[in-house]
Structure formats: structure tokens, C-alpha cells
Amino acid sequence: MMFSFQPIGHVHSPYKSAQEVPKGLGAKHDAEGILEILPQFELGLTDIEGFSHLIVLWLFDRLTEEDRQELIGTPPTDNRPHGVFATRSPRRPNPIGFTVVELLRRDGRSLHVRGVDMLDGTPLLDLKPYLSSIPQEKLRRGWLAEAEARASK
């Protein structure tokens, strides 16, 4: 089965190339950007202002077909390989990115946000309010917790 999606808008980001996006353990994602929604989807933004954080689903549009074949990779947060579905790597079969951003303000079709890690011009697929109901003590961080522990020694 194949699916097709249309962009609902684009990201205005300070990052023009992948090298500029902070990477590795402890990388901070506090860059501000704008999610610009296309006019035909503006009505869908009704009531979004009440949410402090948003889940942003977007397309890794600058990957090659070859990048999408990789099922094991070594992320910048570790020196050991992991399965793609246990990482946030852009190199994955379906090139869908997921970022939680803080909604700073809405200006018509433009959502001013903090926490972008996408490149400038990245197509947006969807927005949803971020509502986490998982208590901190129930969250397990897998290999990342081990990599952080090794790095802090």
C-alpha cells in the first residue's frame, strides 16, 4: 500500500544546512522559527493558541533514496550502532520527522515557535497539540540513557 500526502505549510528555520543543526548528547534545541500554514488550511488553526507545545510532523525532504535504505545507523549521540526505529535518525524508510516545539504566538497563518530542528523550507505534514500523559518515572530512555551514563564518566 502506498500513501500520498500534501504539505500543509513550510518551516522558516535559521538552519540552512544539516551541519548547522545542533547534534550529539546534550544538544540544545532552542532555535526559534515560524511554521507557515498554507491559506487553505488556516481554518484548521482555530483554537491552537491555547496550547503551549505542539507536535510537528514533517518531511525529511532532503534525503536520497539511498538514505532511506539504512536500517542500522550510528547516531551522533552514541558511538554504537542502533536500529533505525530505536533512533531519531533522518535516514529511515519513511522520511517523517517529529519535533515538539513551544508555541510562542500565532500571527494569522504563522505560528512562531521555539525548538525547531528542521532545515529552512521543510514541508509540514501535520500539527497536533502536545499532551503528555506518561509520568516521568515510567519513561525508559533505552540505549540513550546508557550513552549518557558512559559520557558522564
Ligand X SMILES: C[S@@+](CC[C@H](N)C(=O)[O-])C[C@H]1O[C@@H](n2cnc3c(N)ncnc32)[C@H](O)[C@@H]1O
Judged by the rule CB under 6 A, the positions of this chain that interact with ligand X are 18, 21, 23, 60-63, 88-90, 97-99, 117-119, 122
79 or 108: CB nearest ligand X: 79
10 or 37: CB nearest ligand X: 10
Least distance (Å) between residue 23 CB and ligand X? 6
28 or 153: CB nearest ligand X: 28
43 or 139: CB nearest ligand X: 139
Least distance (Å) between residue 54 CB and ligand X? 13
Enclosing H/E stretch for 145:
helix 142-151
- CA-CA-CA-CA torsion for 102, 58, 31, 49, nearest 10 degrees? -30
Distance CA 149, CA 153 (A): 7
Rounded to 5 degrees, φ, ψ at 137 are -70, -15
Least distance (Å) between residue 73 CB and ligand X? 10
Question: Nearest Cα to 109, choosing from 124, 88, 98?
Answer: 124
